[in-house]
Chains A and B, each alone.
Chain A
Amino acid sequence: MPSRGQFDRPSWLTRIGAFAGLAFMHIPVLIIILYAFTTDDRTYQFPPPGLTFKWFEAAFARQDIWQSLGLSLSVAACATVIAMVLGTLAAFALARSNFRGKDAVTVLFVLPIALPGIITGIALLAAMKLGRIEPSFFTIVAGHATFCLVIVYNNVVARLRRLPPNWVEASMDLGADGSQTLRYVLLPQVATAFLAGGMLAFALSFDEIIVTIFTAGKERTLPIWFFSELFRPRDRPVTNVVAVIVIAVTLLPIVLAYYFTRPDDEHETAR
């Protein structure tokens, strides 16, 4: 950490820019939460003419919302499980090893997030059309698992690379075999990164729309429900409530993931 003498103070411009920028990033989300309680059901009028809880009741009574929520949760659960298994395998394979073609494999594993989501979406659709595969629950899961895998891989591989290599050697020198080293040395170190990757993958899948539209066919995940509501705004207050529910469902795993991987975590300070 640099020492902070007189020469190193933020200028007022930097300070104002930093706090204004942070406010800019939060105001829209706060506004959407406020709108879920407005009594106005026709326009986006600000400030809201009054506040009410009745739209939550209206939203909870809607079967189509519950169905979409259920579908989204099960897709996210399946995609996350596949991604956690395959992503962790890939991370263990690529963290320390060296083999011909490793660079190509590494690039391959980041492509789904480096290229825009629409490419993944239209590519899956093109393949489904060529292979005459009908869109279903499984095609949605296949699409989601592909980019979720990348998230889990990134989290686990980052943790594995930070582990001192001599820990494994020490364990072996002390007489542990490969499976014991894996069980008592590697897995405990990787566990939180593994869980954090899973949480992020779940949140990402639950919220995904760009790829899902291409692979979902007639299935309606919650984001697809939400997207179609944007173009027929007759139930605007209910849409506002769903927005708040979606924020809550995605942020919970994100916050957990943050606590699993924050830098002052005991695993990190033990380095």
Chain B
Amino acid sequence: MRAASTFFWRRPHWYLALLLVPPLLWFGTVYLGSLFALLAQSFYRIDDFTAQIVREPTLATYKQLVTQPANIDIVLRTVTMAIAVTIACAVIALPIATYMARYATGRVKAFFYVGVMLPMWTSYLVKVYAWRQLLAKEGIIAWVFGKLGLSGVLDTLLATPGVGGPSLSSSYIGMFLVFVYMWLPFMILPMAAALERVPGSLLQASADLGAKPAQTFRNVVLPLAIPGIAAGSVFTFSLTLGDYIIPSVVGAPGYFIGMMVYTQQGLAGNIPLAAAFSVVPIVLIFVYLSIAKRFGAFDAL
């Protein structure tokens, strides 16, 4: 044992290799191997007559993806939702993150951190299910609106063309609410972490120089919080882009990228098209990551 440990201490490369080979082997075969398989499948195509997968490299599947207007609609719909959800999450998270990072102390602070972590880690499916109940026609949201005498407001909202529907649980408004709820903690935590790092001396300097609290917030705190917001937005954007459970449980009948991947591989058995569709979010996320990187997202992760 001692001899072995001396051997490895003297030869750090061997030690490193010994540690790194098992996890890399796992990742290389299971994960990277799968990603390559996915890429390979996206260059196959499905034969229209036999419904068999033809294993010859072709761009036919990608051509089908980009030339059918329905597919373009799906991509645009998903990206619009992802951007809307990201903005809403940032707006709602800002006061929570500001309060927990800069004002709360001791027990209140701990209460806030636990209060954000607990719903984040509560079962994903259970939360989706809970929202289906909240948004149902006879559910709690409709009940609250009724009690407040605001049923008319809800009906007007649901009558909005494009985003409305017969009930909240079958409208894009409902789906949007669920997405915002689900990813909110992923925005709050990096934002709070960035705000925690704002040095108190800067705030004092700003106040000494005559800035009102609102001015200090806008000109000093907010710019320093941008990396945190960018980091959080990577999660909210990426998670919305790939989700297929929420659009299939709550919301209007229009397809989203994730649902398309799921349906194509399942009922249709069209793995090549599903694979090509799943390349779309990968590309979008890499584009988004390169933008977020400019705002310092990686320093705040």
Chain A residues lying within 8 Å of B24, measured Cβ to Cβ, are 90, 105
What 1/0 flags go to B98-120 for Cβ under 8 Å of A? 11101101000000101111110
Find out whether the CB atom of B242 lies under 8 angstroms from the CB atom of A116: yes
Interface residues as binary, A77-111 with B (CB distance below 8 Å gives 1, 0 otherwise): 00000100111011011100101000001001101
Q: Which of A3, A87, A126 sits near B200, CB closer than 8 Å? A: A3
Cβ-based interface call for B80 (8 A)? no
* Complex contact B22–A89 (CB within 8 A): yes
B123 touches A124 (CB 8 A): no
CB atoms of A10 and B37 under 8 A apart: no
Whether A2 lies near B203 (C-beta < 8 A) is yes
User: Which label, helix, strand, loop or mixed, suits the secondary structure of the A interface?
Assistant: helix
Judge whether A31 and B140 touch: CB under 8 Å. yes
| Smallest Cβ-Cβ distance to A200: which chain B residue | B121
- Give Cα distance in the complex from A239 to B23, angstroms: 38
In the complex, which range does the number of interface residues on chain B fall in?
35 or more
Name the B residues within 8 Å of A124 (CB-CB). 30, 34
B83 to chain A, nearest CB (A): 16
Point out the residue from B16, B114, B132 that lies within 8 Å of A93, measured CB to CB: B16
Q: Which chain A residues border B140 with CB–CB below 8 Å?
A: 31, 46
Q: Which residues of A contact B40 (CB under 8 A)?
A: 126, 130
Taking CB atoms and an 8 Å cut-off, the chain B residues in 223-242 that contact chain A are: 234, 238-239, 241-242
Q: Is A71 an interface residue (CB 8 A)?
A: no
Q: Report how far A227 CA is from B7 CA in the complex, Å.
A: 53
Q: Does B5 contact A (CB under 8 A)?
A: yes
- Residues on B with C-beta less than 8 A from A227 are 125, 245
Q: How many residues of A contact B (CB 8 A)?
A: 91
Q: Would you call A108 and B262 a contact (CB within 8 A)?
A: no
A108 engages B27 (CB within 8 Å): yes
Task: Give, as a whole number of angstroms, the nearest-CB distance from A142 to chain B.
Answer: 5
B45 to chain A, nearest CB (A): 14
B20 and A25 contact, CB distance less than 8 A: no
Tell me whether A122 and B124 are in contact (CB under 8 A).
no
Cross-chain contact B19 with A89 (CB below 8 angstroms): yes
B197-243 residues with Cβ-Cβ distance < 8 A to A are: 199-201, 203-204, 207, 213-214, 216, 234, 238-239, 241-243
Chain B residues closer than 8 Å to A142, beta-carbon distance = 30
Cβ of B181 within 8 Å of any chain A Cβ, yes or no, is: yes
Contact of B139 among A44, A112, A114, A117 (CB under 8 A): A44
Task: List chain B positions with a Cβ less than 8 A from chain A.
Answer: 1-2, 4-6, 8-9, 12-13, 16, 19-20, 22-24, 26-27, 30-35, 37-38, 40-41, 92-96, 98-100, 102-103, 105, 112, 114-119, 121-134, 136, 138-140, 143, 181, 184-185, 188, 199-201, 203-204, 207, 213-214, 216, 234, 238-239, 241-245, 249, 258, 261-262, 265, 271, 274-275, 278, 281-282, 285, 289
Known A-B contacts: A21-B92, A44-B136. Give 4 more (CB < 8 A).
A25-B116, A87-B23, A99-B16, A122-B261
